[in-house]
Structure 1
Amino acid sequence: MAAPAEMTSGDLSGQYWMNKSLSDDTDDILRLQGMSWWTRQAIRMATVYLTVRHYKDDNGVEHIDIDQVLTGGIGASNEYRTLDWTERPHDDKIFGSVLSMSRRTPIENVEREWLKKDWLPETLADGQVINTIARTDPEKNGNKWSSEQTWGFEDIGGGKRYVRHVYFHGPGGEEINVRLVYDYSELCLHVCSVRSDQDSPLAGPV
């Protein structure tokens, strides 16, 4: 389902699920991140659901808290993004120990063309795009990789959809670009619109 016409990257709060028929295949990325064939097959068959709560704290710092659920017994994981461009550690049960940082920045500050192309105007809140970088923690994770993303909206499949552009750099120098496309759900959990500073961890995974 298309995202609401009035929605911008200034408030992504809502529920989404990944549209795999419109998204690019991520199997090569997962393999290079060290994921087993069995886990990759389970992820391929699973449905990915996101519940997003987007808000600013009392200091005016922007947060995007994402609860991610994968069907098929794979379980749940969290993305808690603080858009202040501070690198934070996170131990993820799927990706291991990673370091990540997030920001909102003018799109001309993003270097890679892949991360800047095809966006709708609603992607740029106050002229700025959401930009995240993640890398493995060199002190805890022997499999070295990094990724950079931009988040926003594109016109795909006949409608406006929430999209992530991903650039991945693998342990052997591999470079992969993928587009992840999400359908919007009108059934948003109460947590999407209720602000609670007490349950907003500052760690940020992949």
Structure 2
Amino acid sequence: MAAPTGFSLKDMTGDWVTHKGLSDDYDPVLALEGVPWWKRQAAGIITVTERITHTKDDKDTHKIVIEKRMTGGFKAEDEVLVTDGSIQSLSHSVFGNVKVRSEWSDLSEVDDKWLKEDWNHGSGENDGVNDAQHIKVSVSNDQLGWDLTVVWGFVLIDGKYYHSRRMLCRKGDQVAKAQIIFAWSRRG
């Protein structure tokens, strides 16, 4: 189901389900990140439901906790994004040792046109923080030599409002892109 009208990144609390029919194939991104073939095949088959708990503090720093459940009820690793721009060093079971930075962004510093264009900003009001309409997540794996930029926002597809995450992965001169569309399920 499409997201409720006027929904924004200021509060993503709820259940979101990957919409395979509207999403791009993200196997090329996973391959560039060094994810083994069999795990990529599994990722192409399963549906992921994300239960997001979104809070913010008095400094307008947002904390987004993402609990992931896969087809069959299997639980994946939780993710925690804190939009203060700090770098978190994490050990991830799929992606290895990574550095993650999450922040609000107006996308002016993003160098890829595809990551910047064709977003829908809901009600037209400020849907983000301090005129930044998007959450940008930068992930790097120094050992495997890849960098991933993920931009969170909303898109309009066939007149319906969906949450989207656009991913661009770079490894040397190789580039892979994918857009994942999330359907709204319910308020958490």
| Shared fold, TM over 0.5 | yes
Partner of 1:65: 65
Aligned-residue offset at 1:19: 0.6
Partner of 1:160: 161
Partner of 2:9: 9
1:74–1:175 distance in 2 versus 1, CA, 3 Å: farther
- Correspondent of 2:128 among 102, 125, 128: 125
Amino acid at match of 1:24: D
CA distance in 2, matches of 1:74, 1:96: 20
1:185–1:107 distance in 2 versus 1, CA, 3 Å: same
Q: Is the 8 A contact 1:154 1:160 kept in 2?
A: yes
Q: What is the percent sequence identity of the aligned residues?
A: 30
Aligned-residue offset at 1:158: 3.7
Q: Aligned with 2:117: secondary structure? A: coil
Is there any run of 5+ residues in structure 1 with no aligned partner, and where? 190-206
Amino acid at match of 2:168: Y
Aligned-residue offset at 1:112: 2.0
CA distance in 1, matches of 2:42, 2:177: 22
Is there any run of 5+ residues in structure 2 with no aligned partner, and where? none
1:99–1:21 distance in 2 versus 1, CA, 3 Å: same
Equivalent pairs counted in the alignment come to 183
CA distance in 1, matches of 2:68, 2:88: 19
Residue 143 of structure 1 pairs with residue 113 of structure 2? no
1:8–1:60 distance in 2 versus 1, CA, 3 Å: closer
Amino acid at match of 1:125: G
Partner of 2:18: 18
CA distance in 2, matches of 1:183, 1:73: 18
Q: Is the 8 A contact 1:90 1:98 kept in 2?
A: yes
- Correspondent of 1:134 among 134, 139, 142: 139
1:38–1:8 distance in 2 versus 1, CA, 3 Å: same
**What are the within-5 Å matches in structure 2 for residues 20-99 of structure 1?**
20-71=20-71, 75-99=75-99
Q: Is the 8 A contact 1:15 1:51 kept in 2?
A: yes
CA distance in 2, matches of 1:6, 1:29: 30
Partner of 2:177: 177
CA distance in 2, matches of 1:87, 1:76: 22
Amino acid at match of 2:114: W
Report the structure, 1 or 2, having the larger strand content.
Answer: 2
TM-score (norm 2): 0.89
Amino acid at match of 2:146: W
Amino acid at match of 1:151: W
Amino acid at match of 2:76: A
